[in-house]
Amino acid sequence: MRVTICIGSACHLKGSREIIAQLQSLVREKNLEDQVDLNGSFCSGNCVNGVCVTVDGQIYSLKPEDTKEFFDKEILGRL
Amino acid sequence: MGVTVDVAYKSLNKFSEVLCGDKVELLHTDDSNIMILADGMGSGVKANILATMTSKILGTMFLNGATLEECVETIVETLPVCQVRQIAYSTFSILQVFHNGDAYLVEFDNPGCIFIRDGSLVPIPHSMRVIRDKKINEYRFRVKKGDALILLSDGTIHAGVGQLLNFGWLWEDVASYAVKQYRLTISAVRLANALCRACDELYQYRPGDDTTVAVMRVIDSKPVHLMTGPPKDPEDDLCMVKDFLTGDDTTKRIVCGGTSANIVSRTMEKKLTVSLDYYDPDLPPVAYIDGIELVTEGVLTLNRVLKLLKRYVKNESVTEEFFLELDKPNGASMVAKMIIEDCTELKLYVGKAINSAYQNPGLPFDLGIRQNLVEQLKHAVEEMGKTVTVAYY
């Protein structure tokens, strides 16, 4: 599964770094390194809301505090 | 032949003085680069005024084609007379290197210019000329790639006098240290800094005199192209990228901006890979496009680049610590390092599109300031003595 987190200017200011750090540690915790491929991307053109995260082509808007819930639902839920 | 130069200088103020009594002017004409170092008599405000006037007069008159006699005459007539010593006095050195390889050195009462070629010292012959009672040394010669020319104020050769060294740091010793550092450093700024640091140490960090080292290194031309921001009209994408990609294989290219990077990647049909490695919590990670030296985020990175460049131009804070900052692997340090140390002329390709998502008052930083940043960047780099051109799209 390919998860792409936008690190463009706007998303950076909205907390991409924190989200990436959380996702990286969650993936490590569950030993999912082989199944979940975390990537960065520059502006995906959806900067108006939260940090733009794409899972297998589907776009989500994330706040750092929602990361755990997002991981459980959208990432674990799809595996 | 197309000679280009890398110029930089570093000054230490006399201990407890706020102003420096040495002044360096870096100028360029259509066919030459000029470096002027003036050392005003005394220290503090008075010396600063004398040195500033001398270097400015020389610079302005030289740029407008005045002869050396006219320049010296004007300085003698213009400088304010010191009340204590009843003379108007500032030493100066002028070094002009033409793009065709001709060079012209004028020295008045400063320590002699250090001329390094092929890793060893080249003596500069004396050919004195007297203008208005002033003995002035003139030297015309040719430069070639790899040469380094170093102008000094007398604070360098007085370093440590009466303290660590009986007679100060003798010119011969400064010169041989310069030769050693010449081999260890690549850019003018690191060479200037290494020499100044040695002086500072000999002074035990309390310089007894204003100390200045100004370095000119003859190098290959190193053009850098920097693209930032998407064009106002998306139809211009292709044309902007095409312009950005002009140049030969010595040209280095930087893209600063997420959307710009996407445009370049799309146009070149090369994959854009974004790294997730944060080397600095305040800056987004860098990215990679095959064929582009450096790809970074835009406005946040440029803002930091500008801070570094301004620090550099202000000169006082260029210390070892500054170089440590410059050597860091984050996007802004990498861009600043390339502009400071690996660039003789900078071409900026700037898109004027406004990103609607940036017009968001909820963001803690005004992202809509690209053009303002670019203007400031241009001024800072010009102050370094490099040529800057800006094209807007």
pLDDT at A57: 84
pLDDT band at B62; cut points 50, 70, 90: confident
Which residue on chain A is closest to B295 by alpha carbon?
A42
> For residue A43, which residues of chain B lie inside 8 Å, CB to CB?
258-259, 262
pLDDT at B207: 93
Q: Count of H helices and E strands in chain A?
A: 3, 4
* B268, two tokens: 């070149």
Which has the closest alpha carbon to B391: B225, B250, B248, B221?
A: B225
Q: Does B287 touch chain A if contact means CB atoms closer than 8 Å?
A: yes
* B186, two tokens: 């690549």
Provide, rounded to the nearest whole percent, the portion of chain B with pLDDT above 70: 95
Find out if CATH 3.60.40.10 is the number for domain B4-219: yes
pLDDT band at B357; cut points 50, 70, 90: low
- Give the sign of the dihedral formed by CA B8, CA B343, CA B297, CA A4: negative
**What values do phi and psi take at B375, rounded to 5?**
-60, -45
Q: Helices (DSSP H) in B245-345: which residue ranges?
A: 258-268, 299-314, 320-326, 331-341
Q: Please indicate whether, in this complex, the C-beta atoms of B367 and A12 are within 8 angstroms of each other.
A: no
Chain A residues in contact with chain B using a Cβ-Cβ cutoff of 8 Å? 5-10, 12-14, 16-17, 20, 24, 38-43, 47-48
Show me where the domains of chain B are located.
4-219, 223-392
Min Cα–Cα distance to chain A from B320, Å: 30
Q: Please indicate whether, in this complex, the C-beta atoms of B297 and A7 are within 8 angstroms of each other.
A: yes
Q: Which is more confidently placed, A15 or A45? A: A15
pLDDT at B131: 86
CA-CA-CA-CA dihedral for A46, B239, B343, B368, to nearest 10: -30
Which residue on chain A is closest to B358 by alpha carbon?
A10
Burial label, B123 (beta-carbon count in 10 A; 0-12, 13-18, 19+)? exposed
Q: What is the complex's ipTM, to 2 decimals?
A: 0.79
Q: pTM above the 0.90 mark?
A: no
Cβ–Cβ under 8 Å, residues B354 and B282: no
C-alpha B265: how far from its chain's center? 32
Q: How far apart are the first and last CA of chain B?
A: 33
Cα separation, B188 vs A40, in Å, equals 37
Q: Which is more confidently placed, B320 or B38? A: B38
Q: Side-chain half-sphere of B141: how many Cα atoms within 13 Å? A: 17
Express each pLDDT in B238-276 by its tens digit: 999 999 999 988 899 999 999 999 999 999 999 999 999
Task: Give B344's contacts (C-beta < 8 A, 6+ positions apart).
Answer: B4, B5, B6, B219, B221, B222, B223, B386, B387
pLDDT at B82 over 90: no
DSSP state of B364: S
pLDDT at B317 over 70: no
Q: What is the mean pLDDT of chain B?
A: 90
Express each pLDDT in B25-34 by its tens digit: 998 888 899 9
Q: Please indicate whether, in this complex, the C-beta atoms of B276 and A7 are within 8 angstroms of each other.
A: yes
pLDDT at B42 over 80: yes
Looking up tokens 């390092």, which residue turns up? B337
Q: Looking at B131-140, B188-197, B361-370, which range is the least confident one? A: B361-370
CB atoms within 10 A of CB A65: 11
Cβ–Cβ under 8 Å, residues B227 and B264: yes
C-alpha B86: how far from its chain's center? 36
Express each pLDDT in B211-243 by its tens digit: 999 999 999 888 999 999 999 999 999 999 999
Cβ–Cβ under 8 Å, residues A78 and A36: no
Q: What is the mean pLDDT of residues B119-143?
A: 90
Cα separation, B166 vs B170, in Å, equals 10
Q: What is the mean pLDDT of residues B33-46?
A: 91
Express each pLDDT in B321-333 by its tens digit: 898 999 999 999 9
pLDDT at B309 over 80: yes
pLDDT at B340: 93
Q: Select the residue from A13, A14, A28, A41 to test the B interface by mutation, using most B Cβ atoms within 10 A.
A: A13
Q: Which residues of B353-383 are buried (b: 16+ CB within 10 A; e: fewer)?
A: bebebbebeebeeebeebeebbebbbebbeb
Nearest-CB residue to B364 (from A13, A40, A47): A13
Q: What is the mean pLDDT of residues B363-373?
A: 76
- Among residues 306-365 of chain B, which lie with CB inside 8 Å of chain A? 355-358, 360, 363-365
pLDDT at B1: 47
Task: Give B83's contacts (C-beta < 8 A, 6+ positions apart).
Answer: none
DSSP state of A31: T
Q: Side-chain half-sphere of A24: how many Cα atoms within 13 Å? A: 12
Cβ–Cβ under 8 Å, residues B349 and B244: yes
